Amino acid sequence: MNPTPPIQTSDFVLQTSTRRGLNPARAVLDNGVVLLAKHTTTTPAVSINLAIRAGSACDPPDAPGTTWLLSRVIDRGTAKRSAADIAEALDSRGITITIAVTRQLFSLVCTCLAEDFEAVLALLGEIVITPSLLDREIETRKGEVITAIRQDDDNPAVRASESLMALLYPDGHPYGRRTKGSIEVVETLTRDRLLHLHDQRFAPTELSAAIVGDVNPSHVHDVAAGVFGRWQNAAPPPITLPPVRHATRRQRLVIPMMNKAQADIAYGFTTITRRDPDYYAFWLMNNAFGQYSIARADPAYYAWWLMNHALGQYSMSGRLGDSIRERQGMAYYVSSSLDANVAEGPLVIRAGVSPANVDRAVASIDEEITRLITEGLTPKELDESRRYLIGSIPRALETNAAIASFLQIAEFFGLGLDYDVRLPDLLGAVTLDQANAAARRALHPERATIVIAGPYADVESDNRLIG
Amino acid sequence: MRATTLDNGLKVLVQEEHTAPLASVWCWYKVGSKDERPGLTGVSHWVEHMNFKGTTNIPRDQVKGIIEQYGGSWNGYTWIDQTTYLETATRDALDRMLFIESERMANCLYHPDDCESERTVIISELQGGENDPDQLLDQEVTATAFKAHPYQHPTIGWLPDLKAMTRDDLYGYYRRYYVPNNATLVIVGDVDTDEALRRVEHYFGGIQPGRDLERLRTVEPDQTGERHLTIRKEGTTAYLKVAFHAPSATDDRFVPIVILDAVLAGAKGLNLWSSFRTAPPQRSARLYRALVERGLASSVSGSIVPTQQPFLYTVSVTATDGTSLTSVEAATLEELDRVRQDGITDTELAKAKAQLKARLVFDNDSVTNIAHQLGYFETIASVDVFTALPSRIAAVTCEAVADAARSLLAPSNRTVGWFEPLPIGNGSGKSEVGSTKSEVRSLKSEV
C-alpha cells in the first residue's frame, strides 16, 4: 500500500470561494476523500460530519437492514482500540457520535470541544476505516435492533410511514424497504456479511468530511490528511436504483392497532429527483401547502419528540395546518414534507387524529389537494413562502452542526460552494405558474396512496396491499 | 447580560451576541401545571395554545405570518413551572417580535369558537402521547410518586378536565397570570442593548401590572415506603422506570445529583430545549454497562431537570426483547444500591465534570438556546443559578455526591413502574393499571 501524500495547505486555501456567504474551503485528497471546512468562533467547539455514500440503498437485496446493523456496531472497536477504549475516549470528552443511515448516506456526526478536535477526528477515522466488528458486539447490538424493530411495530406513526414508503416504492425498491430490516433477517446476519458490506462500500472516494467550528481550515486539512490520506480501497460501483413507477390509481391501506388512542395518517405521492429543474418550484409549493415551520432537519424538531414532559405548539404553517388544525381542530399535527432525492422522492402528508376523525381528515386532505391543483396558490401565498424560506437561511446556518449538514447536502448533490449565496436567487426565480405546475405534476387525490395506522378499521382498505 | 425591571414589574434580560444577524425573543411566565387546581388540570397548556389565536391588534390569521415573513421561527411550550413563547428571526424583526409578545401578554381574544376547536386539538395531543407506552408509564409513575404536590398531574391535564373546561376558565386563568409582574422577557442576539430596552419600554411599559399572585404552598410529604405500579397493556416492548424525589435547582444537593446522574447514565446538559438533541455520552456509565452491555436493555437514561420545587430523578430502561422486567429491575436496583453504598470514584467525578463542561458549551450554540437558558432559570429560580452552574459543578466533591446518593436513592424514596406488554390482538386496547396505590414495602423510613 503506497502512502498518499496529502496536498499542500496552500492548494486547499486557494480553492476557497471568494464570494460572500459561508465561504467554505474544499479540497480533495489524492485518494478521493473530500474535505469541507468552515471556521466559526461562536463557541469553542467543532462539529464533524462524515458522510459516506453507503446508505441503506446499498443493502444486499436479500438482507435489508445490514447497513443499519453495521451502523450500530461500527463504533464498537477498531483494529487498535477496544469498545471500552472508544467508550472512554468519547465519554471523557463529553462526546456522543450519532451514526445515521439514510437511503443514500451513512453518516457519523459529533460535536467536540475545539481542544479535542485532533484526537476525535483520529478516532472517527479509525472507526470508518478499520472497524473490528466483533461477534460479541454484533450479538449485543442485534438485541438492541430487534427491540427497536418491535418498538416500531407498536408505533402507529412509524407503521403508517413505513407502509406508505413500501407502497410508493414496491417490489423491493431500496426506498421502500425498512431501514432497520426485519427481525428474521437481522437474526441471520453474520460478521462476514458486515465485513463484506464494509469492504465493498466504504472507500475514500465515497467519503466527504465536513468540519465546522473553532479550528482553522488549513489545520483541518493537515489533520484530516493525516487521518484519511493513506486510506486505500477500490471505489465501489455506483449505486443503481430501479426506476420509480408513479401510482396510477388511489390506494388505501388500514393497519388496525386497537391498543392505541390516536390514529396516524400518511398520505403521499412520488415526486421528483433533487436534480430536477423544477425542484425549487416544488419546494415553494410544499412550503405553502403545509411544510413545518420547524424543518425536520432542525434539532428543535427532534427535541419536541424526545421531550416527553414539556408540551408545545407544533409549529406549522400552510394550508393543511390552517384547515385541519386551525379551522377544524381535528389534529395536533398535520404537515407535508418533500424529500426529493437521487431517485424521485416522496411528498408525504402526515396527520395524527382521533379515530373518529380519520375519514374527515382524509377528506380534508383530498379537498385541499383538489383546491391546490385547480385553483393554485395565490401570489400572496407564494410571496410569503418565498420570504420565509429566504429569510430563514441565516437561522438555518447558525450552528456549526447545521452548517456542516448543509455543506454535506450541497456536496452530495453537487450544488457548489456558493450554494448558500445562490439559494435566495434560486427561490426568487420561481414563478407562480411554475409552483402551480409543480402541484399539478405531482399531486392528485385519484393517485394518492394512503395508509392509516391506529384504532381504526374499515372495509375500504385494499387488503391486497398488505404484505 | 444586562438585567432590568420596568415600573410595571416586567423583568428584562438582554444579552448581545453578534456572531449571526439574528435575534431571539422569549417571554416567560411563572405559571405552569403546578399552579392548576383540581378540575382545571391542563389549563396552563390550553391557555398557551389559545395565545396563538389572534389579539386585539393582530388578526388571527396573521399571528404566525408576522414572524415568518422574516424567515423566523416561533413556538411555545408549557411545563410544570413555566409557560414560554419565543421567536427567533433576523435582527430587523426585533420590533415585530416585541410587538407580538406585548400583544400576547395583554390582548389575546379567546373567541369561544376557537376555545372549542382547540379542545379537540389538545385531546388529540393527549392521545398521541398515550400511543407511546414509555410516555404513558412516565405519566403514571409521576402521578404515583406524588401524593399531595400538583407536580403529580401531567401538564397536558387529565382527560375529564379537558372535556369539562370552559372558555371562562381559560380566560380567567389567562388574565390572572399573564401580567408583566409575573413575566420575564429575554432578548439575545445581534442587538444594541440600549436600543432594545427602549423598544421594550415602548411596547410593554403601558401594560398594567396584575395583583400579587398567591403561590402554591403545598409541600410533598416525605415518602415513607417504596411504591410500585404496573401497567398491563397490549404492546411489544417492556419498560421500567424508577423515580426518586429529588431536590430543586437551588438546593445544595442538586448539582451533586447532576454529577451522580452523569456517572450512572451520562451527562445530558441542563437545557430542556436543546439537551435532548443527542444521546448523552454514556457508554462507560454504570447503568449502561450493567444493562445495555449485558444485553438486558436496549436503552437506559437518567433525568434530573432543574425545577422550582423538589421534583424527580428518574431512571428509564427499555428491556430487550424477551428479557423480563424482574431481571431488568434487579440489575438496575443493584447498581443504584451500589453507588448509594460506595459512592463514586475520583476518576468518575473528573469524567462527569468534563462531560458537563462540554455539554454546557454545546447547549449554548445559538441565540435561541442561550435565551432559553437565561429565561428558564430566571423563571424557576434566578438567572444567577444559571451563571453559577460552572462554579457549582467545579466545587462538587466525591463526598457531596455520596451524601446526595445516600438520601436520594433510599428505597423508601423510590417509585418503581413497569409497563408490561400484553400480546397484541388478544384483548381490549385499554390499559390496566395495577397497584397504583403505595405499596409500603419498607415501613421504616430510610431518608
Task: Give tens-digit pLDDT for A408-420.
Answer: 999 999 999 999 9
- From CA B369, how far away is CA B356, in angstroms rounded? 16
Give pLDDT tens digits for B119-144.
Answer: 988 998 898 888 899 999 999 999 99
Give pLDDT tens digits for B285-305.
Answer: 999 999 999 999 999 999 999
pLDDT value of position B441: 32
pLDDT value of position B349: 98
Describe the crossing of helices A117-129 and A217-228 by its angle, rounded to 10 degrees: 30
Both B8 and B138 in a single domain? yes
Give pLDDT tens digits for B220-273.
Answer: 999 999 999 999 999 999 999 999 999 999 999 999 999 999 999 999 888 877
Both B135 and B255 in a single domain? no
pLDDT band at residue B427 using 50, 70 and 90 as cut-offs? low
Both B239 and B316 in a single domain? yes
pLDDT value of position B433: 53
User: Does residue B385 register a pLDDT over 90?
Assistant: yes
- Is B443 domain-assigned? no
B88, B283, B317, B361, best to mutate vs chain A, most A CBs in 10 Å: B283
Rounded mean pLDDT of B384-407?
Answer: 97
Both B349 and B248 in a single domain? yes
Both B195 and B233 in a single domain? no
pLDDT value of position A192: 98
pLDDT value of position A323: 77
Of all residues in chain B, what percent carry a pLDDT higher than 70? 94
User: Does residue B436 register a pLDDT over 50?
Assistant: no
Both B26 and B158 in a single domain? yes
DSSP A293: S
pLDDT value of position B64: 77
More confident residue, B441 or A86: A86
pLDDT value of position A306: 34
Both B188 and B232 in a single domain? no
DSSP A264: E
| Domain total in chain B | 2
- From CA A297, how far away is CA A364, in angstroms rounded? 27
Both B185 and B236 in a single domain? no
Domain range for residue B114?
2-204
Residue A103 has which C-alpha cell? Answer: 437511503
Sequence-distant (≥ 6) Cβ neighbours of residue B214 within 8 angstroms: none
CB pair distance less than 8 Å for A394 and B21:
yes
Residue B286 has which C-alpha cell? Answer: 454504570
- Is B414 domain-assigned? yes
Grid look-up 470541544 returns A113
How far from each other are the two terminal CA atoms of chain B, in whole angstroms?
A: 41
- Is B43 domain-assigned? yes
Domains of chain A: 9-228 (3.30.830.10), 251-465 (3.30.830.10)
Rounded mean pLDDT of B160-174?
Answer: 97
pLDDT band at residue B426 using 50, 70 and 90 as cut-offs? low
CB pair distance less than 8 Å for B78 and A389:
no
Report the residue from A140, A261, A388 with minimal CB separation from B131. A261
Both B9 and B96 in a single domain? yes
Q: Residue B269 carries which side chain, given as an amino acid letter?
A: G
B96, B151, B276, B379, best to mutate vs chain A, most A CBs in 10 Å: B276
Both B168 and B128 in a single domain? yes
- Is B447 domain-assigned? no
Mean pLDDT of all residues in chain B?
Answer: 92
- From CA A231, how far away is CA A203, in angstroms rounded? 8
CATH of the domain at B428: 3.30.830.10
User: Does residue B95 register a pLDDT over 80?
Assistant: yes
- From CA A287, how far away is CA A384, in angstroms rounded? 10
Report the residue from B69, B156, B279 with minimal CB separation from A311. B156
Instruction: Please check whether residue B410 is in contact with residue B447, taking contact to mean a CB–CB distance below 8 angstroms.
Output: yes
A 61-90: CB under 8 A from B: 83-84, 86-88, 90
User: Does residue B439 register a pLDDT over 80?
Assistant: no
- From CA A228, how far away is CA B122, in angstroms rounded? 52
Both B199 and B238 in a single domain? no
- Is B210 domain-assigned? no
Both B30 and B114 in a single domain? yes
pLDDT value of position A372: 92
A144, A158, A180, A313, best to mutate vs chain B, most B CBs in 10 Å: A313
Instruction: Please check whether residue B267 is in contact with residue B361, taking contact to mean a CB–CB distance below 8 angstroms.
Output: no
Q: Which residues of chain A have pLDDT under 70?
A: 1-20, 291-317, 459-467
- Is B197 domain-assigned? yes
